[in-house]
Amino acid sequence: MPRATTGGYRRRASTVLAAIAVGLILAGCASTGGLAPEGQLLDVDGLASRHSLDKASFSDADFPPQAWWRTLGDPQLDALIDEALAGAPSLDAADARARQAVAQAGLADAARKPTVGATAQYSGVLIPESVAPEPIGGEYRGVGLIGLNLAFSPDLWGGHRARWQAALGQARAAEVDAQAARLALSSNIAGAYVALAQAHDAEAVAIAERQRASRWLDLGQQRVKAGLDNQMQIRAAQSTVAAAELQAQAARQQIESARNAIAALLGKGPDRGLEIARPALSSAASPTLPSMLPSELLGHRPDVVAARWRVEAASQGIKASKAEFYPSINLSALVGIAAGNLGDLFSRDAALAQGGPAISLPIFDGGRLRNQLARSDAAYDLAVADYNQSVVAALREVTDAVQSARSLDAQIASADRARDAAAAAHQLATTRYRAGLGTQLDVLVAQRPLLQLEQQRTVLRAQRLLAAIDLDRALGGGLQPVAPAAVDVPPASDANTAQRTPAQAQPAAPL
């Protein structure tokens, strides 16, 4: 190569390097000084819960199974939840949001890579002689072009990668949200199923009370005819019959409402609810908790894991905003053939090449970059606050469920003792009546508190089953979503130190 040509290349390279150096100096005009996030992730182990859970049973591995509802022992409930998880509309929406987030992460990843495109065009121009004299004016000139466009923006400061990782974190969060939607759906169906069981039990007790009151009314009418009693007893019995009928009607309405709710959760019409038979749920087991609570809870609660991924995404957003303060280089090139006559398009002299770097740098932008970084800092603080709130709420829900189950167990035990005493009194009255030492009225009077206690036990059993469902849901429903690794926020003074997502290169497929 001739020396003059080599010297020209060197002078142009020196000019480019000088321009870059000047750009780096001038970039100081757009400064990140004074901007930094304020949010601090909550120390979970610092949340005191030992005294609130001091009477709970702990186990080394007692998170609920993934199909936690099967512990309730009702095959019909198992089939209903399986049907809902196979394609309820609420899950379709959650899955669509997850796919949308995955696609957005793919777009952010594509922006980091070179692009190559083909182009073929023909254009012509006729310049009037009033604008330009001959030979330019008055003659039509056309150009045909076939070529390849190449473009690439090197990620000098990690901004492109940070945007991709931020989108990746959002995609992970959306995937975990889809898991949370499944947990919410299954627990809502289980709760409606318990309400259906309670309504059936309440109807049975109301029917038994109506039968008792009807016998009391018949007996009262007989006693009035015999002159042994007055109309007051008949009116009281009539009122009791009407009240029992009212309870039975209310229970039937609750049965219909619970069936409609389950059908809607299944994504079906109300006629689907008519096919649901009376539940046959088993009693709820005593609540037990994992021994590593609360720290292990964070990896099982999908809402907490999703919130943690959003913190990770927001931290990457800070890095991307900081990278905007530095110069950027865009490389572009066009390689192809061009000719004024189409017949000359593939001749040796038609070769065309164009390209080179373009440097851009911020100097004065009216505060756009600083406000953009401030917005990213605020987004991180908001994500941290949401995460911290999710952690506190998660521990509260676990504690509420355990304390509720513990209290209801005690109430059920008391109700059982009262029911046993009432049953013994009813049995004694029946025995005395059969022995001729008492009356049928004594038997009916003794039966009333027994039925009232059965009604109370119906409510308590339903509440206890709901507490078991709440605890399984509060413990994450047996899910183990992938959580991000522990990271720290990059300091405001260093745009090149940023959080790293886990080693996964692509977001997992929506569950």
Enumerate domains of the chain plus CATH numbers.
31-112+155-250+278-326+361-474 (1.20.1600.10)
- Peptide bond between residue 135 and the one before it cis (omega within 30 degrees of 0): yes
Q: Which amino acid is at 359?
A: I
pLDDT at 494 over 50: no
Report d(CA 478, CA 388) in Å as an integer.
Answer: 22
Report d(CA 378, CA 318) in Å as an integer.
Answer: 10
- With contact defined as beta carbons under 8 Å apart, do 473 and 394 qualify? no
CA 255 → CA 22, 91, 242, 264, distances in Å?
78, 26, 20, 14
**How do residues 401-411 score in pLDDT, each as one tens digit?**
888 988 999 99
Starting at the edge strand that comes first in sequence, how are the strands of the sheet with 328-339 ordered?
Answer: 115-126, 140-152, 328-339, 351-360
Greatest mean pLDDT among 170-174, 286-290, 498-502 lies in 170-174
**How do residues 238-248 score in pLDDT, each as one tens digit?**
888 898 899 99
For position 492, what pLDDT does the model report?
A: 43
Mean pLDDT for the stretch of residues 54-79: 78
Pick the range with the lowest mean pLDDT from 237-241, 298-302, 344-348, 462-466.
344-348
- What sign for the dihedral angle of Cα 426, 427, 431, 432? negative
Pick the range with the lowest mean pLDDT from 140-154, 218-232, 372-386, 492-506.
492-506
* Band of pLDDT at residue 254, cut at 50, 70 and 90: very high
Task: With CA atoms as reference, report the closest residue to 419 among 455, 466, 459.
Answer: 455
Q: Which runs of consecutive H residues, i.e. helices, occur in 226-355?
A: 231-265, 271-274, 302-323
- With contact defined as beta carbons under 8 Å apart, do 298 and 391 qualify? yes
Report d(CA 210, CA 219) in Å as an integer.
Answer: 14
* Band of pLDDT at residue 166, cut at 50, 70 and 90: very high
Q: Which runs of consecutive H residues, i.e. helices, occur in 69-111?
A: 75-85, 89-110
CA 137 → CA 94, 130, 340, 342, 362, distances in Å?
64, 8, 16, 21, 43
Task: With CA atoms as reference, report the closest residue to 319 among 92, 130, 78, 489.
Answer: 489
For position 445, what pLDDT does the model report?
A: 83
Strand partners, 258: none
Report d(CA 93, CA 137) in Å as an integer.
Answer: 63
**How do residues 352-392 score in pLDDT, each as one tens digit?**
888 888 888 888 778 888 898 999 999 999 999 999 999 88
- Number of Cα atoms under 13 Å in the Cβ half of residue 283: 11
Q: Which DSSP letter does residue 485 get?
A: P
Which pairing describes strands 115-126 and 288-290: parallel, antiparallel, or unpaired? unpaired
Burial class of residue 478 (count of CB atoms within 10 Å of its CB; 0-12, 13-18, 19+): middle
Greatest mean pLDDT among 220-234, 278-292, 436-450 lies in 436-450
Pick the range with the lowest mean pLDDT from 206-210, 334-338, 351-355, 490-494.
490-494
Report d(CA 29, CA 363) in Å as an integer.
Answer: 5
- With contact defined as beta carbons under 8 Å apart, do 279 and 197 qualify? yes
pLDDT at 173 over 60: yes
Q: Is the pTM of this model over 0.85?
A: no
Strand partners, 149: 117, 334
Strand partners, 140: 126
Report d(CA 193, CA 214) in Å as an integer.
Answer: 31
Residue 357's SS3 state is strand
Burial class of residue 305 (count of CB atoms within 10 Å of its CB; 0-12, 13-18, 19+): buried
Report d(CA 401, CA 187) in Å as an integer.
Answer: 14
